[in-house]
Amino acid sequence: MGKKSDAPVRSCIGCRSKFPKEELIRFSADENGRVRVDPLYKNPGRGVYLCPEMSCFRQAFKKRGAFNRALRRQVEVPQNPEDLLYETLQAFEKEREGIKKRLKGLREGEGKRLSLSLQRIDKMIERLRLCEE
């Protein structure tokens, strides 16, 4: 808190606190109404955000229909916060591998944005792994 920034801010549906978007995990609903992790914040439609904290995952699951309300539709979520955390970690790891592959094909100085995404994803994975312990 207290740090001035122009970065877009979003609220976590678990703790309800506001954070720069890039510090939160974005989820959106796919065409079948299934909640999916969106590691690069690019999936269309409404998004719902969570801190990479087990307590926030748990709180979101405690509030009945929190995901439905935030996404303004009926959505399907995993059975429990632990499953969602697991799926989230998997999605971020998959994204990381994809970015690494894409970076390999680039010359030095290219792919600056990709490198930044990779740094952010690495940080997120680190925090999610801590949640798992």
Number of residues that bind Zn ion (CB under 5 A): 5
- Residue 39 CB, nearest distance to Zn ion (Å)? 17
Among 10, 14, 39, 48, binds Zn ion (CB under 5 A): 14
CA atoms in the 13 A half-sphere facing the CB of 127: 18
- Residue 40 CB, nearest distance to Zn ion (Å)? 20
Span near Zn ion by CB under 5 A; candidates 6-14, 27-35, 81-89, 104-112: 6-14
23-82 binders of Zn ion (CB under 5 A): 51, 56
- Residue 12 CB, nearest distance to Zn ion (Å)? 3
CB 26 within 8 A of CB 38: yes
Tokens of 49: 């955000």
Q: Tell me: does residue 12 bind Zn ion (CB under 5 A).
A: yes
Span near Zn ion by CB under 5 A; candidates 10-18, 41-49, 112-120, 122-130: 10-18
Q: Which residues form the interface with Zn ion (CB under 5 A)?
A: 12, 14-15, 51, 56
